[in-house]
Amino acid sequence: MSAKALTQKSTSLESLAAEGALLARHAGAGKSTHVFTRVHSGYLHEAASKEASSLRTATTEPALELKLQRVTSLAGKVGADLKRVGHASKAEQPRLARELEAAAKELK
């Protein structure tokens, strides 16, 4: 995987994490419906899982190995958090929102 492709993956995951954080924040504040939260987070989770799968099988030049590992690890975490957003209680959502925001910042 080239440096450009890795950056694109990272940007894409950052976007998914940020969107998931916004959705979780809305769900926690009672601004969203359960159905919308579940379905939309499902789409975000599916996209993050696809990115995570392609990252897990990717290889790159030695100089980028560490970055690839970090992005792959964050991809797994973002995917798992997004899955939880769809089924979490209102009380759990703010914590998930914070975790996803932190992941988005790390991916920046």
Partner 1 sequence: MQAGATFRYQLLWVVVIGVAGIVVYSEMCGRVAAVAKRPVFDLVRERTGFSAGLATLAASQVVNLMTCAAEVGGVAICLQLLSGLPYRLLIPLAVVGLAVASWVLPFEWIERVFGYLGLCLLVFAVAAIKLQPDWGSVAHGFVPGSHTGGSLSVYLYFVVGLLGAAMTPYEVYFYSSGAVEDGWGLKELGLNKVTSMIGYGLGGFLSFALMIVAGTLFLPLGIDPQFLGTPPLGAEEAFGQVGLLLALVGILFAVGGAAIETCFSGAYNTAQFFGWRWGKRERPAAASRFTLAWVIIFTLAFLVVMTGYDPVKLTEYSVIFSVVALPLTYLPILLVANDRTYMGSKVNGKLANVLGVLYFILILAIAVAAIPLMLITHGGQG
Examine residue 43 and tell whether it contacts partner 1 (CB under 8 A).
Answer: yes
Examine residue 40 and tell whether it contacts partner 1 (CB under 8 A).
Answer: yes
DSSP letter at 86 equals: T
- The answer to whether 81 and 100 have CB atoms below 8 angstroms apart is yes
Examine residue 26 and tell whether it contacts partner 1 (CB under 8 A).
Answer: yes
Examine residue 33 and tell whether it contacts partner 1 (CB under 8 A).
Answer: yes
Residue of 108, 49, 43, 39 whose CA lies nearest to 77: 49
Cα 95 from Cα 25, distance rounded (Å) = 9
Examine residue 97 and tell whether it contacts partner 1 (CB under 8 A).
Answer: no
Residues forming contacts to partner 1 in the complex (CB under 8 A) are 8, 11-12, 14-15, 18-19, 21-23, 26, 29-33, 35-36, 38-40, 43-44, 47, 104, 108
